[in-house]
Amino acid sequence: MKTIIIGAKGMLGKELAKIFQDWNPICWDQAEIDIADREDVNEKISETKPDLVVNAAAYTNVDGAETNRDLAMKVNGYGVGNLAEACKKCNAILIHYSTDYVFNGKKQEGYKEDDQPKNPINVYGKSKLLGEKLLQKNTGKFYLIRLSWLFGKFGKNFVETMLTLAQKNEIIKVVNDQRGKPTFAFDLAKKTRNLVEEKFPFGIYHITNEGDCSWYEFACEIFKITGNKVEIIPVESKEFPTAAKRPAWSILVNTKLPPNRSWQEALEEYLKN
């Protein structure tokens, strides 16, 4: 299967490049293609004639999106529309990643794949929702995968932030009023490959690790595994004001796929390697 991975230098993209390695994927990032540029996308996809495009490229700075709205919309919204249009022309499958932030975070029991996202509470969520809509409008051959709280060895993430903070501080305050489901990039990349190989029906999927937690609980587990003696204090989000609001209940419920291992097991593997 001729495969292109876009955003191949990002945290998830690098993991995908490894998982799909034996398919000899073509790996592109900003230097090779600008997904926000419709002509560039059309030209490069039509010249390459892929069977599968995996798009892990995105504008992922959640706080930055509040002031860079146009760029976020161009990349996360219209950029996805461009890819979907180009894939449809050459009959390629498009795998695209979205986020829990397309929901407004008020539903405590969590969001299923067929829940309709509305009123995202920050610009990043709005831009990703635009991408979801344009994807579904422009092609039928898509896997739309929502994930949350990504961690993995190829990018800046919460686990690394906590470990860095613990080197310099004896006490760390961590937010305890936002809940979500951590997602290990390696597990997500593997499940992505399964979707294609096992020819699951096209559509929307929620892929995270199993179980939910607050950021505070996530931090406690990190230091339990590493044996670090740092004191962790649970606090409310208002103690750490950010440019973008975060949803309080950001739980993606998977009703379609065999569940992944728990986030604690995945975290343990990540930390031990």
Alpha-carbon span 219 to 231, nearest angstrom: 10
Region binding ligand NAP by CB under 6 A among candidate stretches 9-17, 18-26, 135-143, 195-203: 9-17
Alpha-carbon span 93 to 228, nearest angstrom: 45
| 3 state SS of 97 | strand
Tell me the residue nearest to ligand NAP as measured from the CB.
10
Asked whether position 35 contacts ligand NAP by CB under 6 A, the answer is yes
Of the two residues 13 and 81, which places its CB atom closer to ligand NAP in the complex? 13
Burial 126-151 (b: 16+ CB within 10 A, else e): bbbbbbbebbbebbeebbbbbbbbbb
Of the two residues 180 and 199, which places its CB atom closer to ligand NAP in the complex? 180
Asked whether position 77 contacts ligand NAP by CB under 6 A, the answer is no
CB of 5 to ligand NAP, least distance (A): 10
CB of 229 to ligand NAP, least distance (A): 28
Asked whether position 7 contacts ligand NAP by CB under 6 A, the answer is yes
Region binding ligand NAP by CB under 6 A among candidate stretches 83-91, 142-150, 161-169, 198-206: 142-150
For tokens 């969001």, what's the residue? 111
Which listed residue (78, 124, 143, 216) is catalytic? 124
Of the two residues 125 and 170, which places its CB atom closer to ligand NAP in the complex? 125
Q: Which of 127, 138, 148, 176 binds ligand NAP (CB under 6 A)?
A: 148
Asked whether position 97 contacts ligand NAP by CB under 6 A, the answer is yes
Alpha-carbon span 117 to 103, nearest angstrom: 5
- By the 10 Å C-beta count (0-12 exposed, 13-18 middle, 19+ buried), 14 is classed as buried
DSSP string, 12-71: HHHHHHHHTGGG--EEE-TTT--TT-HHHHHHHHHHH--SEEEE------TTHHHH-HHH
Which residues inside 117-136 make contact with ligand NAP, applying CB under 6 A? Answer: 128
* 124 is annotated as an active-site residue: yes
Asked whether position 155 contacts ligand NAP by CB under 6 A, the answer is yes
Q: Say if residues 193 and 133 touch (Cβ distance below 8 Å).
A: no
